Amino acid sequence: MHNLLSYLNYIINLKNEIKMSNIRKRQNFTQPAITTTYAGEFAGKYIAAALLSAKTLDNKTVTIMPNVKYRQVIQQIAVDSIVNDTSCNFVTSGTVALTERIIEPKELQVNLELCKQNFVQSWEALQLGYSAFDEIPKDFNDFLISYVGGKVAEATEISIWTGLNANNGQFTGFLPAMSASAAAGGTGAVLQATGSGVINSSNVLAKLDNLVSTIPNTVYGKEDLVIYVPTNVVKAYQQALAGGAQGANGFDNKMNVGEKPLNFNGIELVWAPGMTNSYLVAAQKSNLYFGTGLLSDYNEVRVLDMANIDGSQNFRVIMRYTAATQFGIGQNVTIYVP
């Protein structure tokens, strides 16, 4: 009888061990453990990748100012009448005016909770090949960071152009600040082109011509002068060049073939997806600033596995960073407000 009970206990323990082994196998395959915490030096790299994936920053169409931990002064100097007739004595000539603008990045954060099951299959599929990504994330943590980073980049692009500091999760963008400056007027204010209204394929060339006519002579012809345009203007410009505006056969006799050059009378058109429809901005790249502390020690990216804390299949992604925009010399910026 004793031997029989021992044998039955052995069988029961063996079945339990096999059952637990199968559970562990399934867990290892479908629920990769997330134990890595990104902070400090590497956090800056992940934050930088997220922010710089925004189209405006990725293409470096504005001046990027990193390591702004609190605020930074943008100095402006204006001189006038400094060349005069010669004389034997030192005679002070001309005027020198120093003004300044402040860029003060706003602190932002991402506190996101996601379920592993919604992402594991996508990540595993990437490992099998035929991926649309240039580099397949081999680590599940990197996959999560790249996913969240893309969302941060999208939000950053929108804030760069249309954000308001009073809105949760945004910082003041170029368009609100420029529009307010142009409306206030006065010395040093942003210039506003004549006209208003929505831009379409029938009037886009006329609107661009009005904008260019308003650009100051001291700025026109500068090497880094560009015209920032939103998505609807890009579409309208392509349609205008393909249609009757440039003749029956369209631009370069290519009515329906190929992308038309984003260039208006020698000035590059820069596509800024974050801009509000029908706005136009003519400015030098060196006169528009994006400030952030993305390389400072205050940035951190953390991926927390909640399985060991509350037994759930959730993970949390925590990011902290700062961002702000500012233009330098207002009278060197021209805006069209629809």
Per-residue pLDDT 10s for the chain (338 aa) are: 545 445 445 555 545 554 444 433 333 333 444 444 445 445 556 666 666 668 898 888 999 888 888 888 776 666 666 777 777 877 777 666 656 788 999 999 999 887 877 766 666 665 545 444 444 455 666 777 777 888 888 999 999 999 999 999 999 999 999 999 999 998 889 999 999 999 999 999 999 999 999 999 999 999 999 999 999 999 999 888 887 554 555 565 555 555 678 999 999 999 999 999 999 999 999 999 999 987 665 666 777 878 778 888 788 888 888 999 999 999 999 999 99
Does a structural domain hold residue 10? no
**pLDDT for 272:** 95
How many whole angstroms separate alpha carbon 325 and alpha carbon 106?
Answer: 10
Does a structural domain hold residue 205? yes
**pLDDT for 244:** 54
DSSP-based helix, strand, coil % in the chain, nearest 5: 40, 25, 40
Rounded to 10 degrees, the C-alpha dihedral 120/123/128/132 comes to 150
What's the token pair of residue 302? 């953390």
Does a structural domain hold residue 181? yes
User: Do 165 and 172 meet the contact criterion of CB atoms below 8 Å apart?
Assistant: yes
How many whole angstroms separate alpha carbon 193 and alpha carbon 336?
Answer: 5
Domain hosting residue 297, numbered range:
37-76+99-336
**pLDDT for 309:** 83
> Which CATH number goes with the domain that contains 318?
3.90.1690
**pLDDT for 88:** 82
How many whole angstroms separate alpha carbon 153 and alpha carbon 229?
Answer: 19
Does a structural domain hold residue 182? yes
Q: What is the pTM of this model?
A: 0.76
Does a structural domain hold residue 23? no
Helix (H, G, I), strand (E, B) or coil at 318: strand
Does a structural domain hold residue 91? no
Quote the number of domains for the chain.
1
